[in-house]
Amino acid sequence: MAKNWVQQVRQWMTQKMDLPEDVMMDLPRITMIGQIHIYIENHRGLLTFTDKEVRLLLKQGQLMIRGKSFVIKMILPEEILLEGKIDEVTYLD
């Protein structure tokens, strides 16, 4: 019950203060350039990395990226830039 109330307060603040939802709701921000680059902010860590699959831990769930020839171009504690051929981006609950 308390968790739901906190989420409602965050949504209200986002609307009233005109703040970006990804900041207030602690959501990942995903920016893709075609099928070759994906930049993800606000993740909680790298779980899996192969040349065909990347999994990132989120505050709630995981983000799975599938494709080919993946290379990590940049990685910081809450940001990652991935390059390769991106076929699929899936949110896992």
- Would you say residue 90 has pLDDT above 70? yes
How far is 4 from 12, CA to CA, in rounded Å? 12
Reported as a single tens digit per residue, the pLDDT across 4-15 is 777 777 677 667
Break the chain into its structural domains and give their ranges.
26-92
The architecture that CATH gives domain 26-92 is: Sandwich (2.60)
Reported as a single tens digit per residue, the pLDDT across 16-70 is 666 656 555 678 999 999 999 999 999 999 999 999 999 999 988 999 999 999 9
61-88 b/e (C-beta count within 10 Å ≥ 16 → b): ebbbbbbeebeeeeeeeeebbbbbebee
Residue 24: Cβ-neighbour burial (10 angstroms; 0-12, 13-18, 19+): middle
